[in-house]
Amino acid sequence: MEIKERILNHASTLFMRNGIKSVSMDDIAASMAMSKKTLYKWFENKDQIVLATMEQHLHKVQGECEAMAGHSTNAVEQMVRITAWAEQQFTGVHPSIFYDLQKYYPAAWQLLAAHKNTYVLAQITQNLRRGMTEGFYRPDLDVDVLARLHLSQIDLTFDHDVYPPAQFEAQRVRRVFDEHFLLGVATLKGHKLINKYRHVTEEE
C-alpha cells in the first residue's frame, strides 16, 4: 500500500473515532509511527488530509452502492441492503464529525454536499422508480418530493438539537428513518416482501 493511502486510512480511522477537529497532524503521525517531516512531505496541512479522506471515502461509497444495486433482485432488497450497510457505516462514528466538517472544513463539506445532492439523490430516485415498476412501491408516488425527503433525513440523523447523541445513536435513528420511509412507499405486495426480509409476521 502506498504511503499516501496509508496516511489517509489512518487519518480516516482517527477522524471517525475522535471527531475531526480534535485530531492533529501530530496525532496522525504518531498513530503511524511516522515523523511529522514525512507526513508533511505528502500533505501540507490537515485540511488537505480531510479533503483527501473525503474523496477516498465517497469513491468507496459509490462503488459499494453500485454493487448493492447490482446484486439486489428488487428495489426492496436494495433498500434493505443499504439500510444494513448504512447502520454498519455509522457504527463507531463520532457524533461531532458532521459538525466539524461543516464548521471547519468547508471544501470537504461542499464535496460531501455535492455527493449527496447529485449521486445519492439519483440513487434514491432510481430505487423509487425501480420499485414502482416492479409493483413493490405505490404507483402514485411523487418521486421528486420523496427522494428529497429521504435525502434530508441523512442530515436530520445528525441534528443534535432534534436527536441529542447522548440519547440517540445514529444507527438507531437511521434504521427507524429507513424503515418508516420504506413502509410508507410500499404497496401491499411490497409490505409482504419487506416483512419477509425483516422476518416479521403480521396479521392481515
pLDDT per position as a tens digit, 28-41: 999 999 999 999 99
- pLDDT (0 to 100) of residue 13: 93
Q: Which residues, given as ranges, of the chain have pLDDT below 70?
A: 1, 202-204
**Integer Cα distance of 158 and 72 in angstroms:** 28
- pLDDT (0 to 100) of residue 65: 92
- pLDDT (0 to 100) of residue 88: 85
Provide the residue type at 73 as one letter: T
Residue entry with cell 436527536: 163
Q: Map residue 24 onto helix, strand or coil.
A: coil
- pLDDT (0 to 100) of residue 192: 94
Sorted by where each begins, the domain ranges of the chain are 58-198
Q: Look up the CATH architecture of domain 58-198.
A: Orthogonal Bundle (1.10)
Q: How many CB atoms are closer than 10 A to CB 33?
A: 6
CA 170 to chain centre: 11
- pLDDT (0 to 100) of residue 94: 85
- pLDDT (0 to 100) of residue 200: 79
Provide the residue type at 169 as one letter: E
- pLDDT (0 to 100) of residue 118: 96
- pLDDT (0 to 100) of residue 204: 59
**Integer Cα distance of 33 and 142 in angstroms:** 54
